[in-house]
Every structure is written in C-alpha cells, then in structure tokens.
Amino acid sequence: MVKSPKTNRACGETMTQELAEVGEFCPNEDCEVYGQIKDSHIVRYGKTTAGVQRYQCRVCGKSYTATKGTLFYRKQTPRQEIVETLALLAEGMRISSISRVKGFKEDTILGWLREAAEHARQIEAVLMNRYQVSQAQIDGLWAYVGHKGQKGDTPKATSEVSSGAAR
C-alpha cells in the first residue's frame, strides 16, 4: 500500500510518501492518526468469510481488509487467476486470446491491467522520490540496457568449421 503525503493535524508535520504494510497505519483520511506508522493503534479484527485478514483502527473505529490499497481489493476472482492473467499479458498474449482461454471478459482484464499500471506508477513514485531522475534519463538508461551485449553494429563472425560433422 502506498501512503500519501499529508499534513498530520495532531502535530502539524508533513509526512512523506513511503511504502508500508497493510495493518501498520490507518488508511482513513479523516482519522486523526492517518498515515502514522509509529503507533500501535491498528489491531487485528478477525477475518472475512474468504479468509482475508481484517484490521481496525482504535482511534477512528474503521475497519479494513489486508487487501485494501492493492489490486486485489474487493475482487471476487482469486488472486492467482488475476496474477496469471496479468503475466500472460506481460508475455505478449492478446487480450482476446486470454479472454477465450481464461473465461474473463475483455473489459475485466483491461480493468485489472489499468489498476496494476496505476499501482506500479504509485510504487515507482515512492521508490524514486529520493532521486532526481528525469524521464529522459530513464529512457536513456533503458536504451543502454536494451543494447547491452551488442558490441558495435556488426554481428559476431561465425566459424566456418561445422559442429562435429566429418569432412
């Protein structure tokens, strides 16, 4: 889960974005301890019928599940199915083909893809917030990495000798 920057009403300080585990802070933006990780104001609060851990904030009384802030929040589809579907997309399989094979509607798959992309963008922003890297620098790095291993424009010379064939 990604915690947003916000001014803490209790002490007037601005919190920075950082990654935190679900159950370490209250995700309720109206809570007076929203985003505070240091205090132990979050307690386990049973499990859902599907077996997902629930948590409750002692300050505001709101409860939430362990999937809050993730791609799997309020999804009826098992996590493994969503992950497999996204992996097939990453491998270059067409959405229409995945839809036929997995039995999910194309719109559902596109929704998962959009949510995963947004979540990845948020995590990247948190991980890169300490560094002053421009998009042009990232593009340049990917261009370098993409050509890594290719020394010059000429392909390696192949040997004229066959591999094990008798002459």
Q: Would you say the pTM of this structure is higher than 0.95?
A: no
Q: Which are the contacts of 92, defined by CB distance < 8 A and separation ≥ 6?
A: none
pLDDT for position 6: 43
3-state secondary structure 84-130: HHHHHHHCCCCHHHHHHHHCCCHHHHHHHHHHHHHHHHHHHHHHHCC
Among 21-25, 76-80, 163-167, the range with the most confident prediction by mean pLDDT is 76-80
pLDDT at 49: 85
